[in-house]
Amino acid sequence: MTKTSTPRMPNGLIREGKGQKLWRELTAKWEFTESEYKLLEVACYTADRITRERRAIGDQLTVKGSQGQLVAHPLLAQLRADEEHLAKLLARIDMPEPEQNTKTDSGERSAQMRAIVQSRWGKAYGS
């Protein structure tokens, strides 16, 4: 895999939002292949979508259903799906430990680095 120069931050991300923060943090620390940059772009849009979903849900975890019954907020399922999607996208991006040789045999990443990244973004999104 050939690493490429850092492309520009994707357009349409929330200004100073989670997507832009994710892009800046990861591109400052690692160089990626073209396909990894595409995954990162989708991850950034997903991070912003999660932010919007959380804002829309706010403190309302339940809403009234069609018969007046209490039901889970309809965006909760989408939020869970997007959080899982973000974690899977980040897991597919090769982010080796800084002291590790950047050339990996089969694109394997350090399990420890993956845990750190997922932990950081899990805390940010409450997953």
Specify the pLDDT at position 103: 52
Range of the domain at 88: 18-125
Contacts of residue 105, Cβ cutoff 8 Å, sequence gap at least 6: none
Higher-pLDDT residue of 107, 8: 8
Quick check: is 4 in a domain? no
Quick check: is 43 in a domain? yes
Tokens of 75: 């965006």
The arithmetic mean of pLDDT across residues 114-121, rounded, is 72
In three-state form (DSSP H/G/I as H, E/B as E, the rest C), the secondary structure along 99-124 is CCCCCCCCCCCCHHHHHHHHHHHHHH
The arithmetic mean of pLDDT across residues 53-58, rounded, is 96
Query: pLDDT tens, 39-49?
Result: 999 999 999 99
Is pTM, for the whole model, over 0.85? Answer: no
Lowest-confidence segment of 38-42, 65-69, 100-104, 120-124 by average pLDDT: 100-104
Quick check: is 1 in a domain? no
